[in-house]
């Protein structure tokens, strides 16, 4: 009879061990708290955008009011406060998630650095372009700067792994072009081509001896110029604040009795406020405006 073969069971390898769940990374509560504070700040500013209400410490005509109403208060048609809220929400999410401390650090460093760069750009624009400062914008700047410093000081050991020189170079190659896109968009360089009737209208306004009195820091004056796009350089514009926002008014403006900006003087008539190109064409009897519109509508 054939001998029954005994089955030999192979012992399990001692090297095979059940997977151990990685402990969950606790949130960075300091960064999370700062990020949520930024969310609250931008939400407050966003609630006032486009309304007649004024933020605290931001009275009408103040530097804060000028900045908040300027063209730099929007990006791609959306208020900067909304973009800022999105950045703070991303910072809050990054501070509460992440598989490893190094992963969290990289995310937090990139977001905080980008926020600081945008704040530096907007503060410089307000200072040199508007001769004004916004208290709420400076508060957000300070908040982002504190977050960036905290991230750098509390970085994990041997982070960044590639070294500071390479890390900063990579961030510069990515963040600076992004900042350039923001600046180009706010300067209307990315806008569609201007209406071809605007340049002839601007030239006609100058030839008819119309005058457009304004100031570089005036938000309504900026809106008036933006209606003409690149043709704004040909408008019969008179700068009334050559000595700064708080300096003496230009003699020509004082002689004309200018009290508010913008003010137009057309055919001896004084009109205050922003005027559309259509209204300016009508007031100066620029008949080519409607003729050009008809020709463009009919097409070739």
The structural domains of the chain, with segments of one domain joined by +, span 29-186, 198-298
**Highest-confidence segment of 57-61, 155-159, 183-187, 236-240:** 236-240
291 has a pLDDT exceeding 50 = yes
14 has a pLDDT exceeding 70 = no
Contact assessment for residue 125 and residue 217, using Cβ atoms and an 8 Å cutoff: no
129 has a pLDDT exceeding 80 = yes
Contact assessment for residue 272 and residue 283, using Cβ atoms and an 8 Å cutoff: no
Contact assessment for residue 277 and residue 228, using Cβ atoms and an 8 Å cutoff: yes
**Residue 51 pLDDT class (50, 70, 90 cuts):** low
- DSSP letter at 15? T
Residue 265: CB partners within 8 Å, gap ≥ 6?
210, 211, 213, 256, 271
- The SS3 assignment for 157 reads coil
126 has a pLDDT exceeding 60 = yes
10 has a pLDDT exceeding 60 = no
Mean pLDDT score across all residues of the chain: 88
Residue of 5 and 130 predicted with greater confidence? 130
Residue 224: CB partners within 8 Å, gap ≥ 6?
212, 214, 262, 274, 275
First CA to last CA distance, the chain:
106
Using one digit for the tens of pLDDT, what is the confidence trace for 92-105?
999 999 889 999 99
Counting residues of the chain whose pLDDT is more than 90, the rounded percentage is 68
Residue of 295 and 266 predicted with greater confidence? 266
The dihedrals phi and psi of 246, each to the nearest 5 degrees, come to: -105, 10
Using one digit for the tens of pLDDT, what is the confidence trace for 206-222?
999 999 999 999 999 99
295 has a pLDDT exceeding 50 = no
Question: Which class is domain 198-298?
Answer: alpha beta
Residue of 190 and 39 predicted with greater confidence? 39
Residue 294 pLDDT: 47
Residue 52 pLDDT: 60
185 burial level (CB within 10 Å; 0-12, 13-18, 19+): middle
Least confident range from 6-20, 167-181, 272-286: namely: 6-20
**Taking the model in full, what pTM does it have?**
0.81
Residue 119: CB partners within 8 Å, gap ≥ 6?
137, 140, 141, 144, 145
Q: How far apart are CA 257 and CA 260, in angstroms?
A: 9
Q: C-alpha angle 74/79/83, rounded to 5°?
A: 105
- The SS3 assignment for 110 reads helix
| Per-position DSSP letters for 165-218, written without gaps between them | HHHHHHHHHHHHHHHHHHHHHHTTTTSPPPPTTHHHHHHHHHHTT-EEEE-TT-
The dihedrals phi and psi of 289, each to the nearest 5 degrees, come to: -65, -50
Residue 60 pLDDT: 79
Residue 96 pLDDT: 94
Mean pLDDT of 160-186: 94
Residue 47 pLDDT: 87
- For domain 29-186, give the fold: de novo design (two linked rop proteins) (1.20.1440)
Contact assessment for residue 83 and residue 238, using Cβ atoms and an 8 Å cutoff: no
Residue of 24 and 121 predicted with greater confidence? 121
Q: How far apart are CA 253 and CA 255, in angstroms?
A: 5
Give the number of other Cβ atoms within 10 Å of residue 236's Cβ.
18
Please give the radius of gyration of the chain, using alpha carbons only, rounded to the nearest integer. 30
Residue of 151 and 25 predicted with greater confidence? 151
């Amino acid at each position: 009879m054939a001998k029954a073969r005994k089955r030999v069971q192979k012992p399990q390898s001692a090297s095979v061990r059940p997977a151990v769940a990685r402990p969950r990374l606790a949130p960075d509560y300091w960064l999370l708290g700062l990020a949520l504070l930024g969310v609250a700040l931008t939400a407050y500013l966003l609630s006032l955008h486009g309304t007649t209400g004024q933020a605290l410490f931001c009275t009408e005509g103040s530097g804060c009011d000028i900045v908040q109403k300027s063209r730099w208060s929007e990006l791609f048609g959306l208020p900067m406060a909304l973009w800022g809220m999105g950045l703070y929400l991303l910072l809050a999410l990054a501070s509460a998630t992440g598989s490893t401390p190094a992963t969290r650090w990289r995310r937090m460093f990139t977001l905080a650095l980008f926020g600081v760069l945008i704040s530096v750009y907007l503060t410089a624009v307000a200072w040199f372009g508007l001769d004004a400062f916004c208290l709420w914008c400076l508060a957000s700047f300070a908040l982002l700067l504190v977050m960036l410093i905290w991230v750098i000081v509390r970085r994990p050991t041997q982070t960044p792994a590639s070294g500071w020189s390479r890390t900063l170079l990579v961030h510069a190659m990515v963040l600076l072009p992004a900042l350039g896109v923001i600046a180009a968009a706010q300067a209307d360089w990315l806008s569609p081509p201007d209406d071809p009737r605007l340049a002839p209208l601007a030239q006609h306004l100058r030839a008819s001896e119309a005058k457009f009195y304004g100031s570089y820091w005036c938000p309504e004056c900026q809106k008036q110029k933006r209606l003409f796009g690149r043709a704004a350089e040909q408008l019969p514009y008179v700068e009334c604040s050559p000595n700064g926002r708080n300096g003496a008014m230009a003699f020509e403006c004082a002689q004309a009795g200018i009290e508010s900006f913008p003010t137009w003087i057309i055919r001896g008539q004084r009109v205050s406020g922003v005027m559309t190109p259509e209204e300016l064409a009508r007031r100066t009897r620029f008949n080519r405006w409607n003729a050009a519109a008809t020709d463009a509508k009919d097409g070739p």
